[in-house]
Structure 1
Amino acid sequence: MKNGNSSEKVVLITGASSGIGKSIATHLSNKGFKVYGTSRKPQDSSKYTFNFVQLDVTDKPSIEEAVYEVYEREGRIDILINNAGMGITGPIEEIPEAEMKKVFETNYFGPLHMIKTVLPVMRRQKSGLIINITSIAGYMGLPYRGIYSATKGALEITAEAYRMEIKQFGIKMTNVAPGDFATNIASGRYHAPVIKDSPYEKVYGNTLKLMDEHVDAGQDPELMAKEIYKIIINPNPKVHYKVGERLQKISVKLKALLPDKLYEKMLMKHYKL
């Protein structure tokens, strides 16, 4: 087993082949971290500035093998970044239950399996940092994105508790909630089909176009990468971070301040419902 160099921290980040994950992995490797990105499909590491291991967050044996491989190579894992995830849209009434369960397996149980597998390593080190990439959508129930909001909200709340439980081992945990970023998440998410003559047909169809426009006009993922680096070098990271356009971050504060019905009215206006 290779002895890890304490001056070169080892980072394991899920979902690093594209989008936010790729930007974070590239940025951290350029900053001198030893980065291992993961992808469900085998990747050619020579095309990236960081190493790749194959991993599917919905497959426990896959998680265990990938974590073991990184630990065997480096002798330590200093930072876990739970970034892999998938989107889902549709009227809740019409989304197949199997698709709901699939997105919970990826966005919620996947990160929990990753944490559970890495914790024994970090506990032996008596140090470690776990960063969960959630979403500003996890702070509110968004129309036609309710299941996605639920997965990210569940991870936010669970991590709040987890953070307190693992403090005694010298391990830190934080959540980073991005807003809309210009990535390929829109093309990769599950879209419940717009069903002809469905009572949701017209409104859902229009909302779907609006959501894709928000992602296409989103910010550069490099912004997330820079924020993650700032969090890593902070000796005392906060419980929650929000990264995105000012209006998106303010929307979370407004939810806490405004009467529920007024906030609901604002959301419906925003989505043109």
Structure 2
Amino acid sequence: MSKVVLITGGSSGIGKSIGEYLMTKGYSVFGTSRNPEKYKDSKFPLVTLDVTKPETISECIREVLTQAQKIDVLINNAGAGITGPIEEIPEEEIKRNFETNFFGPINVIKAILPQMRKQESGLIINITSIAGYMGLPYRGVYSASKGALELITESFRMELKEFNIEMANVAPGDFATNIAAGRYHAPVKTGSPYEKSYVANLKMIDDHVDSGGDPKMVAEIIAKIIETPKPKIHYKVGAFMQKFSIVLKRVLPDKVYEKILSNHYNI
């Protein structure tokens, strides 16, 4: 039997690209969406799931198991963007972002682990972000939520080792998807001390996404991980300079690295 793959947030963007690519490799793919009925042209089945609502997580897993009898691979892809000066982002929006980007994946993992233990095997891939390796201006909340998911994966891996369940992170850089359309933007406040800088950086952030690479690159990395018996902990995929920025942070003094980022963002 082909491996069964469940992808959260599979209706568009990177999740859709991953699902369509894995189908060409012979995998049995299920995606999720909060509103599957809106995507009748999906090339693979979409199951209702909202990662912020635990009852939908349990129901989704039951439905996939009813149809496929197993789940070999979970890809935690569902996520949300957020931008703004941290001082001006409403607390409820910060919490909402962590509910989607951090607590959501954890709850999906918790719900699927009993099945993977029963199978005595499984692979969980968390889609994080290169932004999760550094605190970026006006993207601090997003960086923090994705960075938290990166770190907790390291802990999960050690706890799950005895059950033959593998886990890995894939951190994409900027890719041409519709993430900007669904991102929460803290409103630009006239007279705010951040107004000029935030407006300029908001345009830069959106331009980076619009000119990003083909999300198929992420799908190809995912396929290689699934085919690897013992995957690494961290994978990065994106433009050379985006990946190299992580190396620079590791080797440069903190203030030197901060200066480079500040210059890049004209701060």
Using the size of structure 1 for normalisation, the TM-score is 0.96
1:27 is displaced (CA, Å) by: 0.5
Choose from 202, 205, 215 the match for 1:208. Answer: 202
Aligned to 1:133: 127
1:35 is displaced (CA, Å) by: 0.5
* Structure-1 separation of matches of 2:116 and 2:7: 15
* Structure-1 separation of matches of 2:43 and 2:25: 11
SS of aligned partner of 2:86 = coil
Aligned to 1:256: 250
1:158 is displaced (CA, Å) by: 0.5
After superposition, where does 1:140-159 map in structure 2 within 5 Å? Answer: 140-159=134-153
Q: Is the 8 A contact 1:30 1:49 kept in 2?
A: no
Identical-residue share of aligned pairs (%): 63
1:44 is displaced (CA, Å) by: 6.4
Q: Is the 8 A contact 1:44 1:52 kept in 2?
A: no
Q: Aligned pair 1:161/2:138, yes or no?
A: no
SS of aligned partner of 2:30 = strand
1:42 is displaced (CA, Å) by: 2.1
Q: Give the gaps of 5 or more residues in structure 1.
A: 1-6
Q: Aligned pair 1:69/2:82, yes or no?
A: no
Q: Is the 8 A contact 2:11 2:39 kept in 1?
A: no
* Structure-2 separation of matches of 1:214 and 1:242: 17
* Structure-1 separation of matches of 2:102 and 2:72: 22
After superposition, where does 1:6-85 map in structure 2 within 5 Å? Answer: 7-43=1-37, 47-85=41-79
Q: Is the 8 A contact 1:71 1:77 kept in 2?
A: yes
Deviation string, structure 1 residues 99-152 (Cα, Å, up to 9, x no partner): 000000000000000000000000000000000000000000000000000000
Residue 199 of structure 2 aligns with an amino acid whose one-letter code is G
Q: Is the 8 A contact 1:38 1:52 kept in 2?
A: yes
C-alpha change, 1:213 and 1:178, in structure 2 (3 Å) is same
Residue 184 of structure 1 aligns with an amino acid whose one-letter code is N
Q: Aligned pair 1:223/2:217, yes or no?
A: yes
Aligned to 1:270: 264
* Structure-1 separation of matches of 2:39 and 2:262: 45
- Large movers: runs of 4+ above 3 Å: 43-46
Q: 35-44 vs 108-117, which deviates more?
A: 35-44
* Structure-2 separation of matches of 1:184 and 1:42: 17
Aligned to 1:171: 165
SS of aligned partner of 2:5 = strand
* Structure-2 separation of matches of 1:111 and 1:44: 23
1:49 is displaced (CA, Å) by: 2.2
CA RMSD of aligned residues (A): 0.9
C-alpha change, 1:46 and 1:145, in structure 2 (3 Å) is closer
1:29 is displaced (CA, Å) by: 1.2
Residue 29 of structure 1 aligns with an amino acid whose one-letter code is M
Aligned to 1:98: 92
Using the size of structure 2 for normalisation, the TM-score is 0.98
SS of aligned partner of 1:176 = strand
* Structure-2 separation of matches of 1:216 and 1:32: 31
Residue 150 of structure 1 aligns with an amino acid whose one-letter code is A
1:50 is displaced (CA, Å) by: 1.1
Q: Give the gaps of 5 or more residues in structure 2.
A: none
